[in-house]
Homo-oligomer: A and B are copies of this chain.
Amino acid sequence: MALKDERKIKKTESCPFQEAMDLISGKWTMSIINVLMGGKMRFKELERSVVGINTRMLVKELKQLEHKKIIDRTAFATMPPTVEYALTEKGERLKPVLTEIQVWAIKNMS
């Protein structure tokens, strides 16, 4: 049986800015990208690194990010299975965005 929980993975978008915002929005998205900035990671490592996320959410986010070419998924046919997630070039280029958000956050929150 196919994946049941799979929705359209997004809707009608307009300008590039909106599309980008659409990508960036999402409770866990940027956190995941953030930890992946440190290098490739396995599923379980991610689950531990992104504090508070649960399996379903992580799977969902990873799928969306993969679909949008922000991350690459590499599976190894070992037993038990090994899967590595890493940022693509496109994903790496989000670095400045991340940086600016963090700079702003540190200076302006709390």
Contact = CB atoms under 8 A, between A and B. Distances in A.
Contacts of A102: 16-17, 20
Interface residues of A, number: 34
A78 interface: no
A57 to B, nearest CB: 14
Contacts of A93: 104, 107-108
Q: How many copies does the complex hold?
A: 2
Interface stretch (A1-9, A25-33, A39-47, A79-87): A25-33
A23 to B, nearest CB: 8
Interface of A: 14, 16-22, 24-27, 30-31, 34, 51-52, 90, 93-94, 96-97, 99-110
